[in-house]
């Protein structure tokens, strides 16, 4: 639904000089109060979709809501400035909390993360209703002296690099991850990066989005994709539950790495010389892996051992 709705919005929303990128990136780039490069993003999280209130502690849910927005700022290599938090609370509370206790617990997860990134909590809204918990966070940031990092400036031949292992986020990473804000800013300052996206909906789907925005296709080297221990644990659980052959384990784990979503790592495009230098320097304190490249032909592909390419389905979280 989300892709079709965005396509409709793009065709019905006129271009505006105050929003340079339109509806085409992880965040908006707007002109405000004489500043030309203010980055704005917003995310809506709802119970039973993005978290489970009866299972996940509210402080972790609050932290998750802000962290998801910070990850969008990271994708643009933007410095966080401020956040606005709106809460739609179940009238009777939930998970043993009253509505007031739930609101406080959510904010107790948000406030420390905002402080960690020197981010002001500048406002928001609160309401109660006869429905599930929903949180909407809007975050503001600003570009550095190197300008914004977007999805749309990738070039054929660029290598694709990811910043960490992928898959299995449902086991806890989606709630407790640290957004790659500092890493993105450092890489953008030191190297000539062409494009980036945060992996929120799955590597396969988000790689296809970055490639399409850049007018390219993408080839993924499946053997090079870093797979998290949680993805392996999920695969092992699936094998046990259905008595599948253990030789399915690598395939199942890879499937999680490609399509689970909510990894919130960065996928970065840079020319091969720059990418090799980044991989050699290892300037940030996280895993870096060369997982593929951009190509002139549209679509998503994976590289076969023969050197040929085969189409790859852009699996991932579809809203």
Q: Per residue in 87-133, pLDDT tens?
A: 999 999 999 999 999 999 999 999 999 999 999 999 999 999 999 99
Contact, 195 vs 269, CB < 8 A?
A: yes
CA distance 292 to 312: 13
Torsional class of 22: left (φ above 0), alpha (ψ -120 to 50), beta (otherwise): left
* Percentage with pLDDT > 70 across the chain: 90
Contact, 133 vs 95, CB < 8 A?
A: no
Domain 159-311: top CATH class: alpha beta
What's the chain's average pLDDT? 92
pLDDT at residue 294 above 90?
A: yes
What residues does each domain of the chain span?
Answer: 2-143, 159-311
pLDDT at residue 80 above 80?
A: yes
What local confidence, expressed as pLDDT, does residue 20 receive? 63
What is the β-pairing status of strands 217-220 and 299-303? parallel
What local confidence, expressed as pLDDT, does residue 37 receive? 82
Cα 180 to Cα 193, 212, 266, 315: the distances in Å are 15, 23, 7, 23
pTM: 0.90
Segment 12-26, tens digit of pLDDT: 777 766 666 665 665
What residues does 38 pair with on adjacent strands? 30, 142
Residue with tokens 């979503």: 261
**CATH, range 2-143:** 3.30.1330.10
């Amino acid at each position: 639904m989300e892709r079709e709705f965005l396509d409709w919005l793009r065709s019905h929303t006129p271009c505006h000089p105050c929003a340079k990128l339109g509806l085409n990136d992880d965040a908006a780039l707007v002109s405000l109060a004489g500043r030309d490069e203010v980055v704005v993003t917003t995310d809506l999280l709802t119970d039973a979709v993005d978290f489970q209130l009866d299972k996940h502690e509210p402080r972790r849910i609050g932290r998750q809501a802000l962290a998801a927005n910070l990850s969008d700022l990271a994708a643009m290599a933007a410095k966080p400035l401020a956040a606005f938090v709106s809460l739609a609370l179940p009238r009777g509370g939930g998970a043993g909390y009253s509505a007031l206790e739930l609101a406080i617990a959510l904010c107790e997860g948000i406030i420390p993360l905002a402080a960690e990134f020197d981010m002001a909590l500048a406002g928001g809204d609160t309401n109660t209703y006869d429905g599930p918990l929903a949180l909407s966070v809007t975050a503001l940031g600003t570009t550095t002296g190197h300008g914004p990092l977007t999805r749309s400036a990738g070039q054929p031949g660029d290598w694709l690099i990811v910043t960490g292992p992928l898959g299995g986020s449902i086991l806890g990473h989606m709630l407790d991850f640290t957004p790659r804000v500092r890493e993105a800013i450092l890489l953008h300052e030191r190297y000539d990066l062409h494009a980036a996206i945060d992996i929120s909906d799955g590597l396969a789907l988000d790689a296809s989005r970055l490639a399409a925005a850049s007018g390219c296709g993408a080839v993924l080297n499946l053997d090079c994709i870093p797979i998290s221990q949680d993805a392996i644990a999920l695969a092992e659980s699936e094998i046990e539950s259905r008595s599948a052959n253990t030789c399915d384990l690598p395939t199942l784990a890879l499937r999680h790495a490609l399509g689970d979503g909510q990894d919130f790592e960065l996928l970065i495009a840079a020319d091969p010389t720059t990418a090799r230098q980044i991989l050699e320097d290892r300037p940030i304190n996280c895993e870096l892996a060369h997982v593929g490249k951009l190509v002139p032909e549209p679509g998503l592909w994976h590289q076969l051992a023969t050197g040929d390419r085969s189409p790859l389905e852009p699996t991932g979280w579809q809203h």
